[in-house]
Structure formats: C-alpha cells, structure tokens
Structure 1
Amino acid sequence: MNSIRFALNHMCAPSMPIDDFFAMAKLLDVHSVEIRNDLAGNAILNGTPAAVIKASAAVCGMTIISINALQRFNEWNDTRAEEARALIDYASDCGAKALVLVPINDGSGRQDGIRQANLLTALQALKPMLDAAGIIGLVEPLGFAICSLSSKREAAAAIDHLGAQSTFKLVHDTFHHHLAGENAIFPAMTGLVHLSGVSDPDVTIADMRDPHRVLVDENDRLDNVGQIKALREAGYIGPFSFEPFASDVHALEKPAVALKASMEYLASGV
C-alpha cells in the first residue's frame, strides 16, 4: 500500500508565521497544508491578502487543501452568507481547494427534525456559491454531545438527498469519530481526514475536549492507526492532516521534530 499522504493544519504551530509554517511542511516533505481564519495575529485574521498566501505557498511547493473554517455553517442567515462569501472568495484567490464547514456546537439546534432541516437549508444555500468558485465544501461533524451535527451518516444523507456529492465531502476527524461512537465510515464521500490523539490516561471519553488533542503516539487512546487502516482499506486516498489543539504541542520549540516522530509512528503502524 502506498505511503500515507500527510498534511499539516496550521493548528500544529498556530503562532508560527505562515511563511515559516509552509517552510516547515516542506522540510517534512509534506506538500499539503490547511490554513485557518481563527489564529489571532496570524494569517488570515491579521489581514494578509490572499495573493500573498498564494505566492508563499507556491514558493514552498504547497497545495492549500482547505481553509478552516466557516463556523456555525448550519445556522444559515444573512451574517453566515456574508461570512461564507468572504471565505469562498479568499479560498478562490489564494488557491485553496476547499472550505471546512463546522456546525453549531453550543447545545442549540440539536432537536430531531430541526437539525436536519437546518443542515439542508445551509447546504442548499452554499452549493451555488461553492460551485461558482470551484471550491469543495468539507462538512465536519463534531462528536461532542452538545453538537448540532455529530453524525457523519446524517451529513452523508443530506448530501445524497441534494445530489450534491460533487460539491460536498465529509471530514473524518479521528477525535470526533471516536467521541461520536459512530462506527460507520464513508470513504467515498470523505475529502479530508483530521488526525489528533488523546494520551491522557485519566480523562473519560465524555470529558475529552480540544485541549486533550495531542500528536498521535504509542499512548493514543483513539485508535488512529486502526481508523487510518480502515479508511485506506476501504479506498480513501486523500490527505491525513495533523490538527492538534493541546497547548503543550503549540508550545513546542521544535514542532517539526515532534511531527516527524508522529508521522513515523503512524506510518509504521499501518
């Protein structure tokens, strides 16, 4: 089987200037990156023009596989439409291939019937905007109990209902897949996999949160190796992107060293 196609999300080193982040990816022989619109003091929030991002990525031979993310995408209103339009334009102008779509995650919008209707409304509104720009929408269910979209099956059903498989793909996040307790995977509909591990031996699954998400190592409790194997054996050939949120990972002086170790561990396991 071919080697894993790794990618790096800027959350691997959120304080690292984006030029340095691209250079680190190149050093690791990784050619796919995700940029974010939620990093204070860094691109995109600091006003870096899309053309500058595009040029910097080109210098390092990077493909920007996504912008992460349009938040609360399934709470569709005029504000969300404006945010979506701005991010889709930025994605198009910087050469990004996709826009990650993150659902409401505050306990609202979870009622049966309402959440499905809200999801369909948002996807229907986003489809012509994304299609016009040639950008893929990456729907990312979150496994938290309070999330308005935790099921990949439900997301896949909505995409199928709209016949929008060419516009929307799923994000399989190994952390959220484990939390959701949903065994089904959708390799043909998956456009991106997010990788992170939980090594804390004491935290319960119900209490796992973003700050627990570290780089995957031999102490991983989420079975990243098993999830990667299952996806690849089922035909998924897309990128596996590191997305750790733990502060101790963000504080590493040499993140490239830690990332390389995690890549080697995962490659040897699968």
Structure 2
Amino acid sequence: MTTPRFALNHMAAPRRDLAGFFALARALGIDAVEIRNDLDGTAIADGTPPEAVRATAEAAGLTILSINALQRFNDWTPARAAEATALADYAAACGARGLVLVPVCDGTPKDRAKLEQALSALKPILAQRDLTGLVEPLGFSFSSLRSKADAAAAIAAVGGEGVFRLVHDTFHHHLAGEPDLFPEMTGLVHISGVADDTVSVADMRDPHRGLVAADDRLDNVGQIAALAAGGYAGALSFEPFAPTIHDLADPAAALRESMAFIEGRTQGMTASQRGHDRP
C-alpha cells in the first residue's frame, strides 16, 4: 500500500485551542484536520466565527476534512433540521469539506424508515453547500446504527451516493463485528487503539481508546491494510478519547510514534504480500 495519509481529529488534543491544535498537526507533518463542535472553550463551541476558522486553517496550510458532528442525526425533528442547517452553514463558511453524522446511541432500536427519512432530509441541505455527509455507524450494542451495511443500503435507497460517504471507525468496526468494509463507499477513517487486556469487547468504551501501537487489540493495521487493498486512499484520522492521551502536555511524540508504527507495519505487510505473490 502507499504511505498512509494521516489526519488529526481535535479529540487528539482537546485542551488546545484551535491555533494550538493546528500547530500540532503541522509539527507532525499532517495537512488535514477534523474540528469538533463538542469541545468547550474552543471553536466551534466558543462562538468563533467560521471565517476566522477558515483563515486560521488557511494560514496553517491545512484542509478541514469535517466538522464532527451532528449528533442523533437519524432522529429527525424540526430541532434537528435547524441544527443540521446551522452546522452545514458553519461548515461551508469555515471551508470544511464534510459533516460527520452520528446516530442515536441510547438503546433506541434501529429503524430503517427513520434513517432514510433523515438522509432524505439531509441530502439537499448538504448538497446545496457542496458538503459530504459522513455517516458514522457506532458499534456499541446500544447504538441505533451499528452496521455499515445498513448505512450503505439506506444511502442507496435515497439515491444519496453523490452526497453521503461512510466513516470507517476502527474501534466501532471491531465492536460491531461486521465483516464487510465498504472501502468504495468510505470517505474517512477514524483510528484509535485499545491496549487494555482486562476489558471485554462488549465493555469497551471511548475512554479505552488510545493511540495505535503494538499492543492494539482492534487490529487497526489489518483494517487499514484491507481498506487500502480495496481501494481506499483517503485520510486516517487519529481520534483517541483516552484521558491518558488527553493528559499529555505534548502529545506530538506519542502521535509521531504511532504514525511510525502504522507506517512500518502496513509497509511490512505489503512487502510480505509481494513476496507471497511471487511464483
């Protein structure tokens, strides 16, 4: 596979302001980021105008891949429609390319009709602003949308292939136990690793999600290699939620180490495969 293209989600350094977060990305040689609307004290939650976000990103030479996220997107209500429109307006104005769409995750059962209703309503909102809707299934047992297969089928049902793409989150893919990858429909990959060998897969939660290293239980390397073999050539965006990562005064060294590990292992797998393929 080609050299991985890394991106950085603001969750990798949530205590940094936007300028500090962007500086971290550049220090790592990363040119693409995801910003969030759920981090207090920083853009977007602090009221920073989208034009200021755009200017800061352009000055740093960064592409904003997404705003993360419109929550409970598949519970479509007038309030959700207003929220989606406001976020889409902000995304377009700040120069973001997409909006991550996160499903209801409170034990509500899956509902194909509600999912299609939401996608149908979001389709013109996003299309009119030239944004991609990045649908992110969550693998928790209490999620209303666990499966990428369900998301892909609903996207096809509303004729949304030109507007929507899937987020492949390595953590949630492992939790869902879904065999299919859908690389041709994947618009973004979120990566994080779980090292704790005392927690069962069913009990894994966001605070277990650190960086990808040799002790990773999620097979990030295998997932990344399989996606690449299927044609995915987009960004691998670091999205760790573990307090141990958030508490780092300077996460650059840890992130750099994880990047080097992923590069080395994926290139090693490719070299091994080439040797295996020789007659």
Distance 2:76 2:230 in 1: 34
Aligned to 2:35: 35
Distance 2:60 2:253 in 1: 19
Determine if the alignment matches structure 1 residue 65 to structure 2 residue 61. Answer: no
Distance 1:41 1:18 in 2: 10
Q: CA deviation at 1:2?
A: 1.8
Task: Report the secondary structure of 2:226's partner residue.
Answer: helix
Structure 1 runs not aligned, ≥5 long: none
Aligned to 2:55: 55
Aligned to 1:206: 202
Q: CA deviation at 1:173?
A: 0.1
Of 245, 248, 261, which aligns to 2:241?
Answer: 245
Aligned to 1:85: 85
Aligned to 1:12: 12
Aligned to 1:156: 152
Task: Report the secondary structure of 2:45's partner residue.
Answer: coil
Q: CA deviation at 1:42?
A: 1.0
Distance 2:8 2:203 in 1: 26
Aligned to 2:222: 226
Q: CA deviation at 1:129?
A: 0.6
Distance 1:156 1:82 in 2: 25
Tell me the amino acid that sits aligned with residue 162 of structure 1.
Answer: V
Distance 2:258 2:49 in 1: 32
Aligned to 2:276: none
After TM superposition, the runs of 4+ consecutive aligned structure 1 residues lying more than 3 A away are: none
Tell me the amino acid that sits aligned with residue 3 of structure 1.
Answer: T
Tell me the amino acid that sits aligned with residue 38 of structure 2.
Answer: D
TM-score, structure 2 length as denominator? Answer: 0.95
Distance 1:215 1:43 in 2: 24
Q: CA deviation at 1:253?
A: 1.1
Distance 2:265 2:98 in 1: 29
Distance 2:200 2:131 in 1: 38
Tell me the amino acid that sits aligned with residue 215 of structure 1.
Answer: L
Of 124, 131, 134, which aligns to 1:135?
Answer: 131
TM-score, structure 1 length as denominator? Answer: 0.98
The CA RMSD over aligned residues, in Å, is 0.6
Distance 1:188 1:91 in 2: 24
Aligned to 2:95: 95
Task: Report the secondary structure of 2:248's partner residue.
Answer: coil
Distance 1:51 1:188 in 2: 33
Aligned to 1:190: 186
Distance 1:201 1:153 in 2: 29
Tell me the amino acid that sits aligned with residue 210 of structure 1.
Answer: D
Distance 2:94 2:159 in 1: 28
What does the per-residue CA deviation read over 1:22-43, in whole Å, with 9 as the maximum and x for residues that have no partner?
Answer: 1111111100000000001111
- The number of residues matched between the two structures is 266
Which residues of 2 match residues 168-179 of structure 1 at below 5 A?
Answer: 168-179=164-175
